Every structure is written in C-alpha cells, then in structure tokens.
Structure 1
Amino acid sequence: MTKAQERARARRRYEKREAARIAKEAQRKRDRVVVAVVVCVLVLVAGFVVLARQLSGSSNEASTPSGSATSTTVAGCQAPPSPLGTNAELSLPSKKTAEGKTFVATLTTNCGDIQLTLDGSKAPQAVASFNQLAEKDYWRDSPCHRLTTSGYYILQCGDPTGTGQGTPGYGFGVENAPKDGKYPRGTVAMARTSDVKKGNGGQFFLVYKDTELPGGYTIFGTVTKGMDIVDKIAAAGVSGGGTDGTPAAPISILRVSVTEKKG
C-alpha cells in the first residue's frame, strides 16, 4: 500500500469518527430539549391541577366577606355564598312607578327573611329604584358589608361586590331626609356618597338602634319583620374588633321579592 493510500485510509477513519462524534453530540442536544419540554409540561399540568382544586374548593367552602379578619356563623344562619359581583349598567327608572304606592319587600338572607314596608309616597324615586333592582335580581348573593356599633347603629347592604364600591350604573338625589337627623330603630334608608344630588344608588342600611346622622339620608321604608336577625348580627360585632367594618357574623342577601300592598 502506497503512502497516498494510507493517508486516504486514515482520513476516511478520521472522518468516520468525526461524523459519529457529531451525531452523538446532536443526539445529546435533542435529549436535553426533550427533557426540558417534559419538565415544562409537568410544571404546567401541576399548575392546572392546583388551580382546579382551588376553584372547586371555592364553590363549596364558606367564604369570608371581603375585608374581614375573622367571621363566625351565628345560630340560625347558614354559611353565606360567595359574592357574584356585578357589571350592572342600568338606567334610573321613573319615580312615577312608585308614587303614591306602598310595597312589601322580603329580603331572603342566609339568616332568614327580613321584611320591609316601602313608602312610595314619601320617597318615590328610592322605592322605584329598589323595586327595579329587586326585579333585575341585582342583589342576588350580595353580602351586607358594613356594620357600625358606636355613635350610629346600622347594618349596610346592597352592594353585590361586597366592597362598598358597587353601583347599579346610575345615581339619584336625596328624598325624605329628616330635618332633625334622627333615624329611629327599624328605619330603612339609602346609603350614599357625598353627592346629595346623585349619590344614591343600590346600597341601603337598616337601623337597629335609634341613631342620629348628619347630612341627610333618604328614608324610604321600615323593617316590619326580622329585626331579631339584624340584632343578632349586630350583637356579634365587627370582624376583627373595632366599631365600623365587616360584620363578624356574615349575612348575605340571597334574593329580594317585592309586591305592591293593596288597600
């Protein structure tokens, strides 16, 4: 064998070894990519499993109202549902639908029924709004988000978000506000912002002890049945202590029905 042949043979052996090395290195790279993809898939699957468990648990477990530190379900109350929230963008109804009329409203809550008598003669706009929101099921599964226990004594409800910031998409002015600022036990009045012309919306409060409030708030009804429920919630106090905040004993409006009182 000539030297030229030997050199050619050696080159072929080198090229064969080099090709094998390159192929082996390429296989290693492919293996590393496959492992990385598998790890990513496993991480994503684990994340979806955890999320699914959290979502399924949230629909079955009692929820604590927004902003509360502690909560205690009192005797006679069921665990409250989770707030549904709202994207309501409704229009203000005509007050003529309530003028000169009296209505009976039933707040069905997780603690029992609270019955209200609504006075469309003295506060027609507030009553017309209340009736519309009840008809639209606006308050379904909405927590009463605020309780005060010193200075003034109210249980505030009517915000489907449970934050105190929810509105039905419209506002209206104050009606039938007492000149002396006195709100007797059993009063049903509109909660509002500082805007006396358009500050009323969907939130209202129930007075469980004689109260004086400055500024003027629309009185549009009275509690005729179920004050014992409000008293029970008030007696449990504010979540986490204090005198103004989320009720320690959660209460939610499940639905509201309204009928006109004849005669």
Structure 2
Amino acid sequence: MSPTKDRQRAAARARLEREMAERAAAAGRRRRRGAVFGAAAAVVVVLALVIWLVTMGSGKKKTPAAAPSAATSALPTHCTWKPNPNPSASPAASQAPTPNLKDVGTPPAGGEPRTGVRDMTVNTNLGKIVIRLDLAKAPCTAASMTYLAEKHFYDNTSCHRLVNQSGQDQQTGEVQEMHVLQCGDPSGTGQGGPRYEFDNEYVPTDLRPAYPA
C-alpha cells in the first residue's frame, strides 16, 4: 500500500474519531440539560428552602468583597413570629381566604440558638441535598425551618422554580450567573407558606437590591 493511501486512511480515521467525540459530547450536554429541567418538574422534597447559588465572573480580575453593612449584622435579640397575613398591616387581607397558606402553628418564642451551624438534609427523588444553616447570621430563618420540618410542613412538596441564567451586574459591569432552585411551598405556586412570618435576615442593602425573600 502506498504511503499516500496510508496518509489518506489515517486522516479519514482521525476525522471519524473527532466526529464521534463531538457527537458524544453533544449527547452528554443534552442529557445534562434534560436532567436539570426534568428536576424542576419532578423533584419531591421532605425538607426544603430556596437554594440560591450566585457566582460572579467576567474574565477580569475580581475586586475584594466589600465588608458587610450594618444591616447584615444588626440582628434582633429574639425572633418575632407575626401572623400571616398580618391583621395590623392589612385588616381586609387578614379576612380573605388563604388557600396557599398551611397552618402548623408558630415556633416557640425565644431560646433560638445563635451560634454555630446546623446541617439539614433535603431528601428528593433525585438524591439528597445537604444545607448548612448559619445560626449567627440567620437564627430566625434556621429556627423557622427546623420547626417546619418537625411539623412535616415540607413533606411531599415539589420544587416549583428553577433558574439558570446570566446577566450583567448594573453596578460592577461583571457578568453574573444565577442558579436558583426553589422548593418547599406546599401549594406548589411560589406564593404559599406557613401562617406566620418574620423579618428578613442578612440582607446586604449596601451592595445591590436585596433578593426578594
């Protein structure tokens, strides 16, 4: 066999191998996308909350993070559980039907742990998600989640919202990627919750508009 034919066969074999590798990679990407978007419709949880993962990057050198503002560190000394809807804020709304709310009582008043961390596990039909709660930065949120889990508030609820998107930060100009998986609403609408509420915690008001909790 001539050297020319050997080179032609080697080149053809290399092209075929590249095409097969590209097709395998494309199939893998399709499977991953299908798994992600399927999770939004199918996940069933026993314990859940909003899982908000934000990464910043634009290919430029990142600037050091700003120090937390006073709003992020000034926490009340105890948690106040208010009725939801609050009759003092809107008497008319408190009398309206609330089919999206689930009444499981309110957490105990006082005595919330305010140091250390607490790990909680979200059991889904696609595996487990372990969440670490910071008791120093969000003691009332941690106390509320623990109470609701003990009352089986989250049992057999679905993850109703999945966000995978990127955009430009209006203040820094950097590209921001946001990945959100929101779970634990018994109504499955994103408008439900317990029959109590409490003040937001750890809201960085000096950096950008606070995420609407």
Q: Normalization by structure 2: what TM-score? A: 0.45
Q: Normalization by structure 1: what TM-score? A: 0.37
Asked which structure has the greater CA Rg, the reply is: 1
If asked which structure has higher relative contact order (CA below 8 Å, sep 6+), I would say: 2
